[in-house]
Structure formats: structure tokens, C-alpha cells
Amino acid sequence: MPLIPSTYRAPLGLRNGHLSTIYPTLFRRVGRPEIKREILELEDGDFLDLDCSRLGHGRLAIIGHGLEGDADAKYIRGMSLALQKRGWDTLAWNCRGCGGSHNRLLRSYHSGVSEDLGYVVDHAIDKGYREISLVGFSLGGNIVLKYLGEQAKQVRPEIKSAVAFSVPCDLTSSSLQLGERQNALYMRRFMDGLKGKVVFKNEKFPGELDLSDLSKVKTFAQFDDRFTAPLNGFADARDYWTRASSKPHLAAITVPSLLIQAQNDPFLPPACFPREIAIASKHLYLETPKHGGHVGFISQGEEYWSETRCCEFLEGPSQDRLGAAT
């Protein structure tokens, strides 16, 4: 599929990747859609919290959040409102242990939990939806793309399209880049949230976790080696990053899927821009605007460019803009 030239132009003064990333979190004001919280019980005894807006439109967008986010994040709310305005029901799902509820099991969520998205999709189909699109941000986008690639020819026919933003599709390179000095602010914030979760789990499952010298755990390499990997069946951090990455699955995707990666995203190194895979694919579109940061894509006005662009693609991906690489 030819790479898509992007129309996104960041506002003057917000073209730095870090500013684009941080500004929406601090300053964006966005309303909250009316939701009903549903609890989806899982086969292993755990559960997922689903924030559903069932408006009777007949078609559904399932939206996934990023690392240490939840369904109440501003980018999730903005996307939900934009889609609802255009005639979509929305289901924003919270990964295990996110959204205000601690999950029941010792394991929690991670970047490759595509099976949990599968449970959400099956739940939506059981509710009667026959036209479903998937939307994911960062970690949530990795889960969407991994799920679609793993399903390949067996993907549920109700799934019509997908859009993913700011995806660390190569977790090894992205995890290492986030450990660099210029990204220390983001790493500290992620570590605070992740370590808080393991402290809670240690209280719930005494003796199952080693929290000695937890304050010295400062990077994904250290955290994933010590907690994420062993709690989720991986040998170590590198094994986790390799097996949980969506990049090896992109070529297998069989539904129209748009991946948007800003060139100035501080989280994404070159390995997270799968240009050759997109060029060879019949179904994966890659759009790489010059600006946008990580889950930024700021616009003047109520609706952000990412929301407008997502809705545009979902309304008719087969007719989407094609052209040379940006």
C-alpha cells in the first residue's frame, strides 16, 4: 500500500515533539461522554472494565488506551466524542488493573495482551454489533495491530477497519529509547504508576513478589525483567519485548488499518516506522506527519486532528488518500 502523505500541520509553537506530547495532558479541556460501566468476566477468573456508550447507532468503535492510561484519558474521551458525533457507538476498554479497579490475579496487563482485546470483540459481537472498528493509542495501538495480525485470515468478519496512533510496534527499540536521558520525565511517570501496582499486588499476594530495592528500578528493562516478564510467561524483558511487539504481525493484517506515527515522537525510534512493510501490504496504511509528538496531534478548536483523521478513515478506508511517502 502506498504511504499516505499527511495533511497534519501542528500549530506554531507546538511543533516540538516533547511539547506536543505534554501539552494535551496539561492543558486540553474535553468533555466526558455519557457511559455505562460494564464488567466483562474473563475465562481465567479476572475481569475487564468497559466504558460503553450505547447510543443505538448500530456500529461500534472499540478504543484502547496507552501505558498507565485508562478509558477516562483525554485522548480517549476526545476520540469517543468525535466518533459519537458521526454516528458511532463507542466502547473504551480498560486493561486489567486500569480504570480505577485492581484486577484479581497476580498477573496484570502488558503491551501484548491481544487475547484480552479478543474477549472485548467477542463481547461486542454477542451484544449484536455487526460493524466494528478498532482504535488504539500507543500500547493500545500495539495491541490492536498485534491482534489483527495474529488473527489474519480468521479475523472476525464484523471487524471492518482499524486506526492506531503512536505505536511502539518494535518494543525493544522503543523501550530502550524511553530509557534515554531526554525521556527521563516520561520514564519516571511510567515507573511511578507501574511500581504502585506491584506494591498493591504484593499486599494482595504476600510472598509472590520481590520488592527489595524497588526504588532502584528505573527503566523498562529493569521493571520488565523483574515483574512483567515472569508474571506473564516470558523469559525476560527481551523475550517479552520480542513476543509482545506488533511489528512481526503487521504484514499479515487483512483489514484496512491506518498507522499514524509522528516523525518527532520522542518515544519512537526508526524501527517503529514500518515503511517497507506498509509498502508491501494490501491493507496497512502508514501516515507519518512531521509533527504530533506522542499521542499529541493538537489542533486549534474542540476536535484534535487525530480524531478528525480517524473518523475520516473509518468512514471509508478503501477510498482513503493514497500517494507518495511523506
Average pLDDT of the segment spanning 68-76:
98
Q: What is the pLDDT of residues 153-163, one digit of tens each?
A: 899 999 999 99
Beta carbons of 144 and 115 less than 8 angstroms apart: no
Average pLDDT, the chain: 95
As annotated, the active-site residues are 138, 265, 294
CA distance 235 to 174: 19
pLDDT classification of 324: cutoffs 50, 70, 90: very low
Average pLDDT of the segment spanning 202-222:
96
How many of the other CB atoms lie within 10 Å of CB of 243? 17
Q: What is the pLDDT of residue 320?
A: 52
Q: What is the pLDDT of residues 102-144, one digit of tens each?
A: 999 999 999 999 999 999 999 999 999 999 999 999 999 999 9
Residue with cell 471487524: 159
Q: What is the pLDDT of residue 2?
A: 75
Query: Which of 43, 175, 67 shows the shortest CA–CA distance to 116?
Result: 43
Rg (CA), the chain: 19
Q: What is the pLDDT of residue 1?
A: 74
Q: What is the pLDDT of residue 319?
A: 42
Counting residues of the chain whose pLDDT is more than 90, the rounded percentage is 95
Which domains does the chain possess?
17-170+247-319 (3.40.50.1820), 174-244 (no CATH)
Q: What is the pLDDT of residue 317?
A: 54
Q: Could you tell me if residue 142 is left (phi over 0), alpha (psi between -120 and 50 degrees) or otherwise beta?
A: alpha
Q: What is the pLDDT of residues 274-311, one digit of tens each?
A: 999 999 999 999 999 999 999 999 999 899 999 999 99
Beta carbons of 221 and 119 less than 8 angstroms apart: no
For 77, how many CA atoms within 13 A lie in the half-sphere containing its CB? Answer: 16
Q: Could you tell me if residue 197 is left (phi over 0), alpha (psi between -120 and 50 degrees) or otherwise beta?
A: alpha
Q: What is the pLDDT of residues 7-63, one digit of tens each?
A: 999 999 999 999 999 999 999 999 999 999 999 999 999 999 999 999 999 999 999
List the beta strands (DSSP E) in 138-185.
Answer: 159-165
DSSP letters for 112-143: T-HHHHHHHHHHHHHTT---EEEEEETHHHHH
CA distance 297 to 292: 4
Average pLDDT of the segment spanning 69-97:
98
Q: Read off the pTM.
A: 0.96
